[in-house]
Structure 1
Amino acid sequence: MTKTRKSTITRTTRETDITVTVNLDGTGKANVQTGVGFFDHMLDSFARHSFIDLDVKADGDLHIDAHHTVEDTGIVIGQAIKDALGDFAGITRFGHAYIPMDETLSRASVDLCKRPYLVWKVDFRRDKIGDMDTELFKEFFHALAGNGGMCLHIENLYGENNHHIAESCFKAAARALRMAVTPDERLGGKPASTKGSL
């Protein structure tokens, strides 16, 4: 692939103003400012382990709660990744990863097929981690998959520490995506599909 796989997307609503830049061929650099501390930590980890350079500036209605900021950030990151992938041709397409983190084990599988779907099998024992509601993790990944054209499955197989559960899910999704977006020269720039297109 000779195309520069970068994209910048801005989305502005009455609830949020978000700009995201991604570089699929980066080194995992992250510059993330959402105003939600634990979410910033997760996105930094996501960038580092996917090797996708990620710049996120989100200004949301945090005086209400973090829901709009987290969900809309997922929307814009998904749109930026999809835009950077272009026609999705020549990429490995599928990716998967198991991530252990102390007592916790999580796995993620992704198909970059332009048919968005999320399977989320993750339970938390607490309502919050830091300043972030744990129910928002699913909202983020649902928005990411839906706008990124991803079929994404994330499961926590076991674990006790809620921080470990959340972080292992983000790292697993990142590593799976890192595999899926990687170009495969054997495809000759064509989609990895028997249909000839995605």
Structure 2
Amino acid sequence: MPRTAKIDRTTGETKISLSLNLDGSGVADIQTGVGFFNHMLTLFAKHGLFDLTIKADGDLDVDQHHTVEDTGICLGQAIKQAVGDKAGINRYGSMTLPMEDTLVTSALDLSGRYWFVDNFKFPTEKIGEFDSQLVEVFWQAVAANALMNLHVVLLHGHNSHHISEGIFKATARALRQAVTIDPRQMGVPSSKGVL
């Protein structure tokens, strides 16, 4: 059975259509109106081997916040929907990933319970025209709506672009590991029998 999801969300601030295939090949079609964010989401799809399509129309005349946060909400909901009852998955994933000057660890648990810990700071307020604080906003929204524990730690790094790229790539690869089916895993990977 394909592990896919399609989310459509319309508010007074954004209109977003998102589709996700967890068992894809890393094909991305990302149109958010925010160039750097498009780049990060494309990297996320490529490194997770997720097929990801996003069309977002947001109030960019105000700022980028609503577009980025609402895209995170939709991606989190899509992850939750696509993994279904989580039978057979690894559940946990982690990756320590180097990106030139930067080293990032991302660790996650598709536990059905939300927790987000971000231990990273950006040396600049902007990455081009992108507000660097929106990286935290995005991943908080993803974690909350996917109902997962997500811990992201910047071990070192001084280039804001590389830090953001390290976060997106590491989290993609951690999620790829977590959603992968383990043929030895019988049922849901929890002693409770449900996640």
TM-score under structure 2 normalisation? 0.98
Provide the residue aligned with 1:155 in structure 2.
153
Aligned 1:2-81 pairs, distance under 5 A: 3-81=1-79
Asked if the contact 1:37/1:130 (under 8 Å) is kept, the reply is no
Aligned counterparts of 1:79 and 1:130: Cα–Cα separation in 2: 29
Aligned 1:134-145 pairs, distance under 5 A: 134-145=132-143
- Structure 1 SS opposite 2:122: coil
Aligned counterparts of 2:62 and 2:136: Cα–Cα separation in 1: 19
Provide the residue aligned with 1:124 in structure 2.
122
Deviation at 1:153, TM superposition (A): 0.5
- Structure 2 SS opposite 1:123: coil
Aligned counterparts of 2:176 and 2:47: Cα–Cα separation in 1: 8
Aligned counterparts of 1:78 and 1:52: Cα–Cα separation in 2: 14
- Structure 1 SS opposite 2:184: helix
Residue identity matched to 2:48 = S
Residue identity matched to 2:192 = K
Deviation at 1:185, TM superposition (A): 1.4
Residue identity matched to 2:61 = H
Deviation at 1:116, TM superposition (A): 1.1
1:193 equivalent to 2:170? Answer: no
Deviation at 1:175, TM superposition (A): 0.4
Q: Across the two proteins, how many residue pairs are aligned to each other?
A: 195
1:102-132, CA deviations, whole angstroms, 9 ceiling, x for partnerless residues? 1110010010011011100110111110221
Provide the residue aligned with 2:102 in structure 1.
104
Residue identity matched to 1:193 = S
Moved over 3 A (4+): none
Aligned counterparts of 2:191 and 2:125: Cα–Cα separation in 1: 44
RMSD: 0.7
Aligned counterparts of 1:174 and 1:52: Cα–Cα separation in 2: 9
Deviation at 1:186, TM superposition (A): 1.0
* Structure 2, gaps ≥5 residues long: none
Percent of counterpart pairs with the same letter?
53
Aligned counterparts of 2:131 and 2:45: Cα–Cα separation in 1: 21
Aligned counterparts of 1:174 and 1:180: Cα–Cα separation in 2: 10
Aligned counterparts of 1:135 and 1:102: Cα–Cα separation in 2: 21
* Structure 1, gaps ≥5 residues long: none
Aligned counterparts of 1:187 and 1:97: Cα–Cα separation in 2: 21
Aligned counterparts of 2:126 and 2:14: Cα–Cα separation in 1: 22
